Chain A
Amino acid sequence: KQEVTQIPAALSVPEGENLVLNCSFTDSAIYNLQWFRQDPGKGLTSLLLIQSSQREQTSGRLNASLDKSSGRSTLYIAASQPGDSATYLCAVRQGSGNTGKLIFGQGTTLQVKP
């Protein structure tokens, strides 16, 4: 059974700092891995999606990497801003079938202090 873990559960950093969020998964047979952002009381917004054949994806100040063999992904946020404060979730799509089922981690809650 696939399990997705995110460490740390919470992180507080001063504005301008570069930071890394971690995601690990137990079953390497995944189709892809996705990073989402969730603001308090809101739904999820997709940030980056990495296919299983890819190593990384970049969007603006965000860079996500994937090491499928070791079951790890990182989300790198450069020059953090207070507006980056949110919960970041990673989710993997399982490697078989076509249900589109996503298995989520519990998230890392980020606070960027001005």
Chain B
Amino acid sequence: DAMVIQNPRYQVTQFGKPVTLSCSQTLNHNVMYWYQQKSSQAPKLLFHYYDKDFNNEADTPDNFQSRRPNTSFCFLDIRSPGLGDAAMYLCATSRVRGSDTQYFGPGTRLTVL
């Protein structure tokens, strides 16, 4: 059974058109993470939620926002996607902050036209 689910798996948007990516988890984990992985590059942490506490990485562009309405769901909002935002977006969870094990979803591949 899938534990970390991301929808959609593939998303195409137009330059400047807002887009929302979704992540849900059945693990009841307290922490949810969003990573950005550009082609042939390392995944890079954008932000994470510890319960409802939002933690932004210092170099995450303002164009990226996140919402976590409840324990199970977390959303990544890209307000005005640029061509440089085309990437794989990976959601991960962990039981507690600082936990060693992070469980990753399959990712959403975003294309910006």
Say which one of B14-22, B35-43, B72-80 lies at the interface with A.
B35-43
- Which of B43, B55, B106 is close to A104, meaning CB atoms less than 8 Å apart? B43
Q: Which residue of B lies closest to A5 (CB)?
A: B42
Contacting pair A41 B107 (CB below 8 A): yes
CA distance A34 to B33 in the complex (A): 17
Contacting pair A102 B45 (CB below 8 A): yes
How big is the B interface, by class?
20 to 34
Instruction: Flag whether A98 is at the interface (Cβ < 8 A).
Output: yes
CB contacts under 8 Å to B, within A41-88, are 41-46, 49, 51
Interface residues of B (CB under 8 A from A): 4, 6, 31, 33, 40-45, 48, 55, 57, 88, 90, 92, 94, 97-102, 104-107, 109
Given contacts A45-B104, A89-B42, A103-B42, 19 further A-B contacts (CB under 8 A): A4-B42, A34-B100, A36-B104, A41-B107, A43-B4, A43-B90, A43-B104, A44-B90, A97-B98, A98-B98, A99-B98, A100-B48, A100-B98, A100-B99, A100-B102, A102-B45, A102-B102, A104-B44, A105-B42
Instruction: Flag whether A32 is at the interface (Cβ < 8 A).
Output: yes
Contacting pair B100 A44 (CB below 8 A): no
Would you mind naming 19 contact pairs between A and B with Cβ atoms under 8 Å apart?
A9-B40, A31-B100, A41-B109, A42-B106, A42-B107, A43-B6, A43-B90, A43-B104, A43-B106, A44-B43, A45-B104, A46-B101, A49-B100, A51-B100, A100-B33, A100-B48, A100-B97, A103-B42, A106-B42
Interface residues of A (CB under 8 A from B): 4, 9, 31-32, 34, 36, 41-46, 49, 51, 89, 93, 97-107
How near does chain A come to B51, taking the closest CB pair, in angstroms?
13
Contacting pair B97 A46 (CB below 8 A): no
**Most A C-beta atoms less than 10 A away, residue of B42, B55, B97, B107:** B42
CA distance A74 to B84 in the complex (A): 33
CA distance A43 to B5 in the complex (A): 10
Contacting pair A32 B109 (CB below 8 A): no
- Which of A4, A36, A93, A97 is close to B100, meaning CB atoms less than 8 Å apart? A93
